[in-house]
Chains A and B, each alone.
Chain A
């Protein structure tokens, strides 16, 4: 069974630009969550989608948004990029609460 797939793996953007990251969950998993990982802040929850609806949202500014499609694939978007947005962005899918399966992540560098 295929795992969680995130694209692209690496991305370099300039301050002020926007970026869209993609996540394909494990087949049959309807819950998709996004996390930001940085050395200073660790793993922080961004948002969760379930059946195309945002079910939970973390404490991030409105520049961070996401959506989920009918096939459970999800995208997250960050607008007006700042240097501090440089991080590893991880997507996780779940079938059972508490058991999250992560993709390899997208490493975003903002210059």
Chain B
């Protein structure tokens, strides 16, 4: 089977840094993606880690450690608009679009 675990809720203040962790158990694993979803909106692609290490995209960074079956999304200089749900998703193989999603982490940014 395949499952991904992430915290259900995280709260932080504007300007702070927050890390959302994701641990996975999958029968096949190729990489880890992160998506943001605002209430009433569609999931938006943030980043993909196909290799171990850190990927940085502006205020957002994502990390993967295959040996620990673990990844995280790091959000810096938090803004109110970052309040949303964040999902990690495992890619089962390199030649497929099938993503297995975690249950999502609701991030609330307070002033």
Contact = CB atoms under 8 A, between A and B. Distances in A.
Interface in A70-111: 90, 92, 94, 96-105
A33 B42 contact: no
Interface of A: 31-33, 35, 42-45, 48, 50, 55-56, 58, 90, 92, 94, 96-105
Interface range on chain B (Cβ under 8 Å from partner)? 20 to 34
A33 B91 contact: no
Contact of A90 (B30, B43, B97, B102): B43
Given A90-B42, A98-B50, A104-B42, A56 B97 contact: yes
Instruction: Give the residue among B43, B50, B87 with the most A Cβ atoms within 10 A.
Output: B43
A107 B42 CA distance: 11
Contacts of A48: 96-98
